[in-house]
Amino acid sequence: MGTSEKSGLDLVVGQTVSRTMQVTPETVRTYASLTGDYNPLHFDETFVAGTSFGRLVAHGGITTGILHALVAEDMPGPGTVFLSQNWTFTAPVFAEDTITARAEVLSVHETKPVCSLRIEVTRSDGEVVLEGEAWCYRFLPGG
């Protein structure tokens, strides 16, 4: 290694951050409009009544979207992108749910602006709806 260059990430292992958002029917409609995903699980109450969900569910992309905001705005911060994600959806998110994303720093590269995070998203009732890990890279000014 032999370099004194630092990673540029002011993070420490164990550091955490969280971000909360309200999911609404409008959120679901907007996401569908942006992506073209009009799956009946999100819009057809008769269809979804016959499933194990029993009621309309939000797109998984809405659940993961809060994670993009968390890493880009909160930690590591502006200029951050995901390099990889390994997460599992463990429960549904319904319209009118409030969800909270949490990230914990698992490791920080010594010389590159790269870190690994433990990821979890929960509903306001405490049920975990997504869990896993992700690697992030932060583009730094001038770098």
Asked, for residue 47, whether it belongs to a domain, the answer is yes
Q: How far is 59 from 24, CA to CA, in rounded Å? A: 11
How much of the chain exceeds pLDDT 90, in percent? 90
Residue 5 lies in a domain: no
Tell me what pLDDT residue 2 has: 36
pLDDT of 6: 58
- Domain-located, residue 35: yes
- The pLDDT assigned to 45 comes to 95
CATH of residue 97? 3.10.129.10
Nearest residue to 136 (alpha-carbon basis) of 61, 88, 70, 62: 70
pLDDT at 71: 96
Q: How many domains does the chain have?
A: 1
